[in-house]
Chain A
Amino acid sequence: MCLAAPSRITVIFEGGFLAEVESFGNKRKVGLAMVPEAKVGDYVLVHAGYAMEILDEEAARESLKTWEEILAVTGEAKSCTDKS
């Protein structure tokens, strides 16, 4: 029930209360009141008919980088023990 789908804002309607978003080729209208700073082109998470948050792509890349680093370290540690 707390499912949220990533969608791209295609149009913001007058007054800024509603926007049109696109997700996997489907277009629908959603409430924009929770993310008043959102712009056309932003990716937002949509839940229960409202855009909830603007997705931060930089943060996503950051997570991936951190995990890659952690895994690289774990991998090294493993090969070290293998040698000994």
Chain B
Amino acid sequence: MHGQVLKQFRDPDLGRRMAESTRQRLQRLADKLGRRPRFMEFCGTHTAAISRTGVRGVLKTEVDLLSGPGCPVCVSDYSDIDRAIAFSTVPGAIVATFGDMMKVPGSRTTLQEEKARGADVRVVYSSLDALQLARENPDRPVIFLGVGFETTAPTAVMTLEQAVREDIRNFYLYSMHKTTPPPTRALLPDPELQIDGIILPGHVSMILGRKAWDFLPSKLQRPGVVAGFEPVELLAAIDTLADMLLTGNLSVVNQYGRAVREEGNLVAQQAMDKYYSLVDGPWRGLGTVAGSVLKLKQEYAPWDAEACFAVNVPPTQIPKGCICGEIVKGKQSPFDCALFGKGCDPIRPVGPCMVSSEGTCATYYKYERM
């Protein structure tokens, strides 16, 4: 049943008509603004989807689609990546991580290199797999590297809750999880960026709810659309943003109603409130963003890798020439980087934006090179 509906979201004819409507509306908006409209997406999955579906190419002359800080690995600060790698040196430890983290260059090494040197690093699909490793290896600490936004953050503490319930003491979480509204708030007013509207992250909004973004029109005078990931949905989101800017009727529209509700997922929100506190923390490119990083609360210290293992984190060394920090802000594009495709590619990535499948450099390398 659901497949039928999905097919319609990919229907080429509907897509063509939607593209035509969007193009016309964007042209009218350009006339009104006296320049090309600029929209930003704050989700790496959108960055990849906008390129993969060809939407970026189709609307190339009508709109600038900027990619914001939407890739969790890419926005992780060097100090955090270095600490994550350092956990692999804890005696006897098994480090469990999503595949995206393996090749991310820290200041001196990567998890993959540490694994080659004998560290026990395992790629898992889910924090539940990490918990299973802890059950199977009761004498060894299993450290799960938690990286992601609101979509991923609750899954880690759902697993932690299970660990608490079963009294599994050798499961530890290192939380680098981050929330997305604070950087959105920080970036939007930047006059250099001139962002007119925002394509809001579909799966993050599934947790937070549409309502969470109401500050965009009310405080920052910008429209937003919560968008899905299929071609027709992406076009419709851009069309709706242009329409709101033309009429001056700014709001936050939910166009991903099949997954996103007004209030979001309350069970997930409650779990996050119970286990995490929001602290100020560093983002690559953005510096310290107030109240944006989710760390485990004091009472869960026995499961908190940071509280339990003192590791040596080397002083940060940023690879020469990598402009990943500017790219996550939408200020520069991968094409502005001298290393893009010339010394930095997905096989030998220099910066995190080329590592993660949702990093802007990786997406542009795959889809946007002529």
Inside 8 A of B43's CB, which chain A residues have their CB? 2
Binary interface profile of A, 1-44, with partner B (CB < 8 Å = 1, else 0)?
11110101000000001000000000001110111100000010
Contact A1 B18 (CB under 8 A): no
Question: Does chain A have a CB within 8 A of B163?
Answer: no
From 268 to 302 in chain B, residues with beta carbon under 8 angstroms from any chain A beta carbon are 268, 271
Given known contacts A6-B6, A48-B155, A57-B5, A70 and B21 CB-to-CB distance under 8 angstroms:
yes
Question: Does chain A have a CB within 8 A of B51?
Answer: no
Q: In the complex the two chains form, what is the Cα distance from A64 to B255 in whole Å? A: 10
Q: Could you tell me how many residues of chain A have their Cβ less than 8 Å away from some Cβ of chain B?
A: 38
Contact B126 A49 (CB under 8 A): yes
Contact B258 A31 (CB under 8 A): no
Question: Does chain A have a CB within 8 A of B159?
Answer: yes
Inside 8 A of B152's CB, which chain A residues have their CB? 1-2, 47-48
Contact B100 A56 (CB under 8 A): no
Contact A49 B155 (CB under 8 A): yes
Contact A33 B17 (CB under 8 A): no
B interface SS class: helix
Identify the stretch in B56-64, B198-206, B244-252, B313-321 within 8 Å (CB) of chain A at 4 or more residues. B198-206
Given known contacts A35-B267, A56-B258, A70-B21, A48 and B5 CB-to-CB distance under 8 angstroms:
no
Q: In the complex the two chains form, what is the Cα distance from A48 to B73 in whole Å? A: 15
Given known contacts A1-B98, A64-B5, A71 and B17 CB-to-CB distance under 8 angstroms:
yes
Q: In the complex the two chains form, what is the Cα distance from A15 to B127 in whole Å? A: 19
From 26 to 84 in chain A, residues with beta carbon under 8 angstroms from any chain B beta carbon are 29-31, 33-36, 43, 45, 47-50, 52-53, 55-57, 59-64, 67-68, 70-71, 74-75, 78
Contact A60 B257 (CB under 8 A): yes
Of the A-B pairs whose beta carbons lie under 8 Å apart in the complex, a sample of 17, sorted by A's number, is A1-B73, A4-B206, A8-B2, A31-B128, A47-B203, A48-B125, A48-B126, A48-B151, A48-B152, A49-B128, A52-B206, A52-B265, A60-B258, A67-B18, A67-B236, A68-B14, A74-B21
User: A2-B202, A64-B8 are known contacts; what are 20 more A-B pairs with Cβ within 8 Å?
Assistant: A1-B73, A1-B356, A2-B152, A3-B45, A4-B206, A6-B2, A45-B259, A47-B152, A48-B151, A49-B129, A50-B158, A52-B265, A57-B2, A57-B5, A59-B257, A60-B9, A63-B233, A68-B14, A70-B239, A71-B17
